[in-house]
Structure 1
Amino acid sequence: MDYPNDLDPGAPVRGGVPEHGRIPKYYAVKAQLTALLNDLAEGETLPTERDLAVRYAVSRDTVRQALRELLLEGRLRRQGRGTVAAGPKLAQPLSLASYTEGVRRQGRRPGRTLIGLDRFPCPPALAAETGLERGEPVWHMERVLLADDERVGLESTYVAVARMPHLDTEFDPDSSFYSYVHERLGIDFGSADERIETVLATPREALLIGTPPALPMLLIHRVSYDPAGRATERVRTLYRGDRFSFTTRLGADSQ
C-alpha cells in the first residue's frame, strides 16, 4: 500500500481519503489548512473563520469543524481571540527519566506550580498497589506541569512519609522530584510499572491545566521501585493530548 503524497510514513494512508474517493467538506478544508500551516511559523496568526470560509467557499461551520480537529491534534492553539500556529508536540520518553530531563532535551524550559502538599493515612487502594501499610502516613503532592510557562499537564505524586519525612520543608516544588530523591535522599530508581490511557479531564483538572473539558488527555499511571523492589512513588500524570506524544524503543522479546 502506498504512502500519502507527502511520503510521511506516520501520516494516514492516501492522506485519509476513503477508497470510494468521497471526502467530507470539512476534511478537504482541513487538508488545505494543513498546507497553509506548513508555511506558517510558530505563533503566526491564521485568518479569521469568516475569511477562511470565503477563501474555501464553504460555511463557517465547516471551517469551524476543521479548525477544531487541528486544535485537538495540536497543530493550532488559541491565543487571545485568535488562532495561531502551534509548535511541535513535546515527545516525552517512556523511561525512568524525569519530566524535567525530557523537556530540557527538546530545548524547552520545564517548570511546575504547586497546587497542594498534604499528608494523610494511606488508603486501602494505594496500599494494595504499592505495598505500603494501610493507614501509614503518606504525602500527596499535586503540581501543574509547565513547558516555557505553558501549562501542559497535572501531576499527582504519592510517597511514604517514612521514606521522605521532610518533603514539606526540604523539597522545592518547582524542581525535579527525581533529582531530590536521588541526590538529596540517595534513593535510586530501579524499575517502574506504567500504564497509559486516553481520558477526558474533569472540570477541576481542565481548569487547572487551562484547557476545554472536551480536550483528550493522555493519562499515565506509574509505580516506581528502588533496586530492592520497594515502591518509591505512585504517580498519576495527566498530559494534554494536543501538546504531548510519547516515545519508546522496543527490543526483541527474550522469551
Structure 2
Amino acid sequence: MSKPYAIRTALTEVLDGLVEGDPFPPERELAARFGVARETVRQAVHELLVEGLVERRGRGTVVSKPKLVQPLSLRSYTEGAVKMGRKPGRLLVTWEDVEPSPELTAALDVAPGELVMHLERVLLADGQRIGLESTYLPRHRFGAFTETFDPTTSLYAAIRATGVTFDRAVERVETVLASPREAGLLESTTAMPMLRLHRRSVDTEGRPIEVVRSLYRGDRVAFEALLDDRDQ
C-alpha cells in the first residue's frame, strides 16, 4: 500500500470517530501521529476537502455536513433540500431582460430579436452557498413575473401556479471548474470541482418553459436518479 493511500485511509478512520462540526486535527499533529511529512498529510486533507468530508472554518478544519443529495427529476431544488431536512434559500444576483443567442432563441422557441428573461440566483442550504442557478424564460409566457415573482422563493412553484404543467426535460451533467466570478459567488475557489447541469424543460403541449444552467459545488452537492427497465 502506497504511503499517500495509507494516510488517506488513516484520515478516513479519524473521521469515523468524529461528528459534524467537530474540529479535525491539524496537519502538524497528524504528521507526527502517522510519522509522515506534512505535505503528505496536506494532500490527503485536500482530498477530504474536495470530497466534502471536511471544510475550512476560520483558520481550522471541521467535519462537514453530509452532502445535499438532489434528485435528477422535474422537481425544484427546494423540494430536494426540504426532503433532506435542510433549509433552502436564495440570493438574487441578476434579473434582467437579455437578447438571446441563436441557440437560446431556438431552445425557447422565441421570435428572432425577442428578449428573454434571465434570472440568476445563488442557492443556499442552511445558509451555505451550494449552487449558482441561471434560468432563461420566454418573456411572452412569464413576463408578469417581473411584477409578481419573489426571487427568494421557488420558481417552479410560481410557474405551476400559472397553470403550466411540466411534462419532461432533457438534462446533461458534466464536471467543470468555476470561473473566478462563479467561484466568488459560491465562496469557493477556481480549483474546486463543480457539477454543471444544463436543462431544457417543456410543458404537456411540448412548448418550452425554461433553459437552466446550474453550477453546484462538488464538495456540497451530489445527484441521484431512479433507474428501471420496465419500459425495455
Same fold, TM-score > 0.5, yes or no: yes
Q: Which residue of 2 aligns with 1:13?
A: none
Offset from partner CA, 1:37-60 (integer Å, 9 cap, x none): 111110110111111111111111
SS in 2 for 1:42: coil
Distance 2:47 2:226 in 1: 29
TM-score w.r.t. structure 1 length? 0.88
TM-score w.r.t. structure 2 length? 0.97
- Residue pair 2:108, 2:137 contacting (<8 A) in 1 also: no
Between the two proteins, the alignment pairs up a number of residues equal to 232
SS in 2 for 1:252: coil
Q: Give 1:252's aligned amino acid.
A: D
- Residue pair 1:123, 1:135 contacting (<8 A) in 2 also: no
Shift of 1:243: 1.0
Q: Which runs of 5+ in 2 are unaligned?
A: none
Q: Give 2:139's aligned amino acid.
A: V
Q: CA RMSD in A?
A: 1.1
Offset from partner CA, 1:3-25 (integer Å, 9 cap, x none): xxxxxxxxxxxxxxxxxxx32x2
Q: Which residue of 1 aligns with 2:193?
A: 216
- Residue pair 1:116, 1:142 contacting (<8 A) in 2 also: yes
Shift of 1:123: 2.2
Offset from partner CA, 1:168-194 (integer Å, 9 cap, x none): 2211111000001112x1111111011
Offset from partner CA, 1:54-88 (integer Å, 9 cap, x none): 11111110010000001001111110010001121
Identity of aligned residues (%): 50
Q: Does 1:68 align with 2:65?
A: no
Q: Which runs of 5+ in 1 are unaligned?
A: 1-21
> Which one scores higher on RCO, CA 8 angstroms, separation ≥ 6?
2
Q: Does 1:88 align with 2:66?
A: yes
Distance 1:251 1:100 in 2: 25
- Corresponding residue to 1:56 among 20, 31, 34: 34
Distance 2:50 2:167 in 1: 36
Distance 1:92 1:122 in 2: 29
- Corresponding residue to 2:174 among 197, 200, 203: 197
SS in 2 for 1:190: strand
Distance 2:193 2:151 in 1: 27
